[in-house]
Amino acid sequence: MAALVSTVALLALLYMVAAESQVPCVQLNDGNLMPIVALGTGRSTAKESDTLDDVRKAVFYALEAGYRHIDTAAAYGDEEQVGQGIAEAIAKNIVTRDNIFVTTKLWNDKHRREQVVPALRESLSRLGLDYIDLFLIHFPISMKEDGSPDYVDYLETWQGMEEAKTLGLARSIGVSNFNIEQLQRLMANSKLQPVVNEVEVSPTFTQEPMIGFCMENGIVVMGFSPFGYFVGRDSAKQNLDKTVLIQIADKYGKSFGQVILRYLLQRGVIPIPKSTNQKRIIENIDLFDFALTDEEVATISRYNTNNRVIHPVEWKDYPFYPYEN
Ligand SMILES: NC(=O)c1ccc[n+]([C@@H]2O[C@H](COP(=O)([O-])OP(=O)(O)OC[C@H]3O[C@@H](n4cnc5c(N)ncnc54)[C@H](OP(=O)(O)O)[C@@H]3O)[C@@H](O)[C@H]2O)c1
């Protein structure tokens, strides 16, 4: 059954190929097409030395390398630099606005219905864009401006998201960090269904129930922190043995990072690798000339520890906290 699901997921993902793009697209439940690899621009798990200008350069390198999807958020504080990287690539005729896909997110302190469209307009102004391709509620949790808990129901927030879509300011709308019960409640009480749930997915946090639920309900999963505990500040603490990943990578002449990203793709997940390093940016989109066997996908899933990289336990007592603890 697992083998069948992964093959079906892959075929579904690779079915829609936008002629002008090097990256295959998936069709969202509202009919729009979304490229199946996105450059991450959030820097929370990144090197301390990454600057905002590194983000501008990374976005440009990515578009030059063939990425057509950039993931940002109001909370990252880098929408301006993302917009500059895009503008530079458009000015150099590398891309057009029409053939790229930009995702941004609504922060937790703008959850009242009447705050949503103005917050999106501010994001668009920072990005230098007239519309966003995908607008996500970053978390189901709401906060006051000082970060203390608020109690705005995400169903109210979603009404503002629907307005953003109706106004044409967001082509597609979705959510991030929602758990299954929250998705069910949202779907049962809304006019428009979310097209995406952006959640953490990696070999060390495999998210089978969430991915299964989303597939059954026509919601695409975008996977953040795809490298899990294999990279970054916490990797040493986890002391993970990469031997299996490296053996698989050697078999295909790829890096362990490419194997991880391909693993997500074959599980039907859109990976969002963050890099500001030009070599790794190029490497992280070079994923379409090899395929893992179903056994290799299953083997990589055995790295699962159910430990999140992004775990904001400081919000655990806030209303609508989505995680177990
Ligand atoms: N919705 C949410 O709540 C949420 C939460 C977290 C993240 N995100 C999104 O997801 C993106 C990615 O998540 P993340 O930044 O937490 O984690 P990640 O992409 O798994 O890891 C980023 C780290 O991996 C390194 N790296 C990149 N490519 C590599 C490769 N091929 N081999 C080895 N190391 C590599 C990067 O360093 P270099 O830059 O030096 O290459 C960086 O230190 C974010 O940028 C953001 O857009 C969303």
Q: Is 81 in the pocket of ligand 1 (CB under 6 A)?
A: no
- For tokens 């979310």, the residue is 194
Q: Is 275 in the pocket of ligand 1 (CB under 6 A)?
A: yes
Residue pair 129/171 in contact (Cβ under 8 Å)? The answer is no
Instruction: Name the residue range of residue 206's domain.
Output: 2-307
Q: Is 104 in the pocket of ligand 1 (CB under 6 A)?
A: no
Q: Considering its fold, how many domains does the chain have in total?
A: 1
**Residue of 67, 76, 229, 303 with catalytic role:** 76
User: Is 321 inside a domain boundary?
Assistant: no
Catalytic status, residue 76:
yes
User: Is 99 inside a domain boundary?
Assistant: yes
Nearest CA to ligand 1 atom 47: 40
CB atoms near residue 165 (< 10 Å): 17
CA distances from 64 to 21, 23, 80, 193 (A): 12, 13, 19, 33
The ligand 1 atom nearest the CA atom of 255: 31
User: Is 315 inside a domain boundary?
Assistant: no
User: Is 188 inside a domain boundary?
Assistant: yes
User: Is 319 inside a domain boundary?
Assistant: no
Nearest CA to ligand 1 atom 13: 225
Task: Say whether 69 counts as a known binding-site residue.
Answer: no
User: Is 325 inside a domain boundary?
Assistant: no
Nearest CA to ligand 1 atom 43: 46
Q: The domain spanning residue 301 has which CATH number?
A: 3.20.20.100
Q: What distance in Å separates the CA atoms of residue 122 and residue 125, rounded to the nearest whole number?
A: 5
Q: Which two tokens stand for residue 10?
A: 């892959």
Q: Is 233 in the pocket of ligand 1 (CB under 6 A)?
A: no
pLDDT of res. 144: 96
User: Is 258 inside a domain boundary?
Assistant: yes
Q: Helices marked H in the chain — which ranges?
A: 2-15, 52-65, 79-91, 113-127, 154-166, 180-188, 208-216, 235-238, 243-252, 256-266, 278-283, 294-301
β pairing state of 25-27 and 33-35: antiparallel
Whole-number Å distance, alpha carbon 77 to ligand 1 midpoint, is 16
Q: What distance in Å separates the CA atoms of residue 284 and residue 268, rounded to the nearest whole number?
A: 17
Torsion of CA 39, 310, 267, 82, to 10 degrees: -10
CA distances from 27 to 9, 195, 196 (A): 12, 9, 11
CA distances from 318 to 63, 119, 148, 158, 314 (A): 38, 22, 9, 19, 9
- For tokens 């009242």, the residue is 112
pLDDT of res. 235: 60
pLDDT of res. 49: 73
For the chain (length 325 residues), average pLDDT per consecutive 10?
Answer: 43 45 89 98 71 96 98 97 98 98 98 98 98 98 96 98 98 98 98 98 97 98 95 68 95 98 98 97 97 98 92 94 89
CA angle 174–96–130, rounded 5-degree value: 50
User: Is 316 inside a domain boundary?
Assistant: no
Q: Which residues is 103 bridged to in the sheet?
A: 71, 134
